[in-house]
């Protein structure tokens, strides 16, 4: 019986080891696929694969990759969620790294609050008025003196101010810059992932340079990204808030011996 129990324990341990190896292999495949998607600019697909790789392998560093993908696709809630989870599970982070990532998380949360604050309030659609019934035509005899009866009205349609477009364009430029620096940072991080198994890097000056450059580019990307999102939101708001009132139209009516006529003039 003891030999049978020992054999069962060995089989169970072997099955558990095989399952763990299968998960590790599947997690590595998901990571490679996510890396390919990220380098192609397919950030949504990359985020899904990075989170799947984390689920299979349990490596907290993969949450940071998912955060980068969500950040570059401008998904503020999911980028904050994955970065927050990485800070909670990343036990091997240095004090400097943790402070830097917490500052990024605080910046994202501020951007989310600012984006909510600058969203324009929804306005109810204008009610359509019933068309007025046409007035019966007036008849004027030929010997009647000309009596103009001007009636003017001013009005104008929606004419957005160019300030909003300028601010939104600046935000778009910042977001493009964030994508470029994000891809560059991802390249350095991929180099470290390939040459540093189990998150342990040899003492190589090239790897140290890649690590420093990747961290700097990641910080620049975060700053550009948050600033771009805020600028885009502010620009869209200004487009609807600020209007150019230079356009106006005037309407008038006059009667002559030949009949009555109306006119509408618009200024440009």
pLDDT in tens, 133-166: 555 554 444 444 444 444 444 444 556 667 767 8
- By CB neighbour count within 10 A (0-12 exposed, 13-18 middle, 19+ buried), where does 93 fall? middle
- Note whether 11 and 31 are same-domain residues: yes
Residues 2 and 115 in one domain: yes
My answer on whether 44 and 93 are in the same domain is yes
**Does 129 fall in a domain?**
no
Query: What's the confidence (pLDDT) of residue 143?
Result: 44
Does residue 166 share a domain with residue 150? no
**pLDDT given at position 228:** 79
Tell me what pLDDT residue 5 has.
45
Q: Is residue 127 part of a domain?
A: no
Q: Are 100 and 112 in the same domain?
A: yes
Give a yes or no: residue 137 inside a domain.
no
Same-domain pairing of 201 and 226: yes
Per-residue pLDDT, 227 = 86
| pLDDT tens readout for residues 208-243 | 777 788 778 888 888 887 887 887 787 777 676 665
Q: What is the pTM of this model?
A: 0.48
Q: Cβ(189)–Cβ(62) under 8 Å?
A: no
Whether 188 and 268 map to the same domain: the answer is: no
Residue 170 domain flag:
yes
Q: Kindly state whether residue 267 falls inside one of the protein's structural domains.
A: yes
194 and 101 housed in the same domain: no
Is 164 in the same domain as 153? no
- Can you point out the beta strands (E) in the chain? 154-155, 248-256, 259-267
Say yes or no: 111 and 26 in one domain. Answer: yes
104 and 175 co-located in one domain: no
For residue 102, being part of any structural domain is answered with yes
Q: CATH no. for residue 47?
A: 1.25.40.10
Are 150 and 268 contained in the same domain?
Answer: yes
Residue 244's pLDDT is 52
Domain count, the chain: 3
* Regions of the chain where pLDDT drops below 50: 2-15, 138-156, 245-251, 261-268
CA nearest 102: which of 67, 145, 142? 67
pLDDT of residue 116: 82
Host domain of residue 265: 142-157+250-268
Find the helix or strand (DSSP H, E) in which 33 lies.
helix 2-39
- 146 assigned to some structural domain: yes
Measured from the Cβ of residue 28, the count of other Cβ atoms closer than 10 Å reads 13
φ, ψ at 260 (rounded to 5°): -105, 145
Asked if the structure places residue 124 within a domain, the reply is: no
């Amino acid at each position: 019986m003891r030999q049978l129990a020992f054999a069962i324990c060995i089989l169970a341990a072997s099955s558990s080891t095989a399952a763990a190896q299968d998960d590790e292999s599947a997690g590595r495949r998901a990571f490679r696929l996510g890396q390919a998607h990220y380098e192609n600019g397919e950030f949504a697909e990359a985020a899904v694969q990075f989170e799947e790789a984390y689920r299979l392998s349990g490596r907290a560093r993969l949450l940071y990759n998912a955060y980068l993908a969500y950040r570059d696709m401008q998904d503020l809630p999911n980028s904050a969620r994955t970065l927050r989870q990485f800070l909670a599970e990343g036990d091997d982070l240095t004090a400097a790294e943790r402070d830097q990532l917490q500052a990024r998380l605080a910046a994202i949360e501020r951007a989310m609050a600012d984006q909510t604050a600058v969203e324009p309030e929804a306005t109810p659609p204008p009610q359509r008025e019933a068309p007025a019934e046409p007035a019966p035509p007036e008849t004027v005899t030929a010997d009647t003196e000309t009596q103009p009866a001007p009636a003017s009205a001013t009005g104008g349609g929606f004419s957005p101010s160019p300030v909003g477009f300028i601010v939104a364009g600046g935000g778009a430029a910042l977001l493009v810059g964030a994508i470029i620096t994000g891809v560059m940072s991802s390249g350095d991080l991929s180099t470290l992932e390939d040459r540093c198994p189990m998150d342990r890097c040899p003492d190589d000056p090239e790897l140290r340079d890649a690590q420093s450059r990747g961290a700097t580019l990641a910080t620049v990307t975060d700053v550009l990204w948050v600033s771009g999102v805020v600028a885009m939101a502010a620009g869209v708001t200004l487009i609807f808030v600020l209007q150019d009132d230079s356009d106006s139209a005037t309407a008038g009516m006059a009667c002559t011996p030949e009949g009555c006529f109306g006119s509408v003039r618009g200024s440009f």
